[in-house]
Amino acid sequence: MNDILSGIQAAFWLIVTLDADLIEITLRSLQVSLSALVIASVLALPFGTWLAVRRFRYRRATIATLNALMGLPPVVVGLIVYLLLSRSGPFGVLGLLFTPTAMIIAQVIIITPLIASIAHQAMRELWAEYHDLLISLNTTKRQRIMTLIWDGRRALLTAGLAGFGRAIGEVGAIMIVGGNIDHATRVLTTAIALETGKGDFELALGLGFVLIALALLVNFGIHSLSKTEREGRW
């Protein structure tokens, strides 16, 4: 109990003293996770919507696979990305290993199935509602997907936020491909893992609370920006 309190205290001090290291790794966390979120959303939202709209032979199998991919173990993703990007791997020449880019790649792989799966679920209901009209109007596949994405943007927000949450809290994969290098690839979660390893639980918890506060901030920010819950909206 005491440890948890001193963790909160540590978080408080880190924040009020504007600890330079803290600011650096917090910004890097945000940069990596938001980049991953944007890239993953660009891939996953249309794909999830497309899955809701299209009927094809292996649709069931695709959906089951997508759901299963939500469970991609981060460590395995990290390993595979490591092997691909390592000097002896096929993309070794790019020299991306142990850079924030590598971390973004790993996170994109982890959160894309999650976002796509939640998006698919949400879009399925909307598609059931719009189906007859959009078919009747002879819309193209692309138009259907764009219409659903636009009119279902509120539901897609949850998908995006789930993805962001997964990304910002993830540590297994980015530890492997980013290496937790000080001043280069250290982010909040890897720093927490480091402090835990050192047995400095106060600092680890403190960083953890900073991370949670950050997640809350982003969520409240997005919610109030998009006014999702305001009465009288869709």
Partner 1 sequence: GTGQALRLGRAGDVDAILVHSKAAEETFVEDGYGTHRREIMYNDFVLIGPETDPAQIAEAATASGALQKIEAIQSTFVSRGDDSGTHKKETSLWSSAGFDAASFGAWYKAVGSGMGASLNTAAGIDAYILSDRASWLNFGNKGGLAVLFSGDPVLFNQYAYLPVDPERHPHVNATAARQLEAWLTSPTAKELINTYQIDGEGLFTFNATQ
Partner 2 sequence: MTHSMSVSLHKMHVKRRGKSILGPIDLELAPTGFTMVLGPNGAGKTTLLKVLHGIERVSSGSVQWSVSGAQAQQEQAYVFQSPIMLRRSVSQNLAYPLQISGISKAEITGRVETWLDRIGLSNMAERPATRLSGGERQKLALGRALIRDPQVLFLDEPCANLDGRSTREIEALLLNTLHTGTRIIMTTHDIGQARRLASDVVFLLNGELHEQGRATEFFDEPKTPEAKAFLNGDIVE
Supply the minimum distance, in Å, between the C-beta of residue 143 and partner 2: 5
Q: Which of a copy of itself, partner 2, partner 1, none is residue 133 near (CB under 5 to 8 Å by kind)?
A: partner 2
**x/- site string to a copy of itself, residues 79 to 118, per CB under 8 A?**
xx--xx----xx-----------------------x--xx
User: Which of positions 70-89 make contact with partner 1 (CB under 8 A)?
Assistant: 82, 86-89
Q: CA 222 to CA 220: how far, in whole Å?
A: 6
Q: Which is nearer to partner 2, 52 or 211 (CB)?
A: 52
Q: Which amino acid type is present at position 58?
A: Y
Are the C-beta atoms of residues 105 and 96 closer than 8 Å to each other? yes
Is 26:186 a contact under the CB 8 Å cutoff? Answer: no
CB of 147 to partner 2, least distance (A): 8
| Per-position x/- string for 155-184, each x denoting binding to partner 1 as judged by CB under 8 A, each - no binding | --------------------xx--xxxxxx
Query: CA-CA-CA-CA torsion for 182, 186, 192, 198, nearest 10 degrees?
Result: -20
Could you say whether residue 67 binds a copy of itself (CB under 8 A)?
yes
- Say whether residue 26 binds a copy of itself (CB under 8 A): no
Question: Residue 158 and residue 197: Cα distance in Å, rounded?
Answer: 33
User: What is d(CA 6, CA 186) in angstroms, rounded to the nearest whole number?
Assistant: 23
Taking the least distance from each CB to partner 1, the nearer of 199 and 232 is 199
Smallest gap from Cβ 215 to partner 1, in A, equals: 22
**Partner touching 205 among partner 1, partner 2, a copy of itself, none, CB below 5 to 8 Å by kind:** a copy of itself
Measured from the Cβ of residue 18, the count of other Cβ atoms closer than 10 Å reads 8
Footprint of a copy of itself on 113-152 (CB under 8 A): 114, 117-118, 120-122, 124-126
The answer to whether residue 147 forms part of the interface with partner 2 (CB under 8 A) is yes
DSSP 142: H
Nearest to residue 174, comparing CAs of 27, 15, 20, 33? Answer: 33
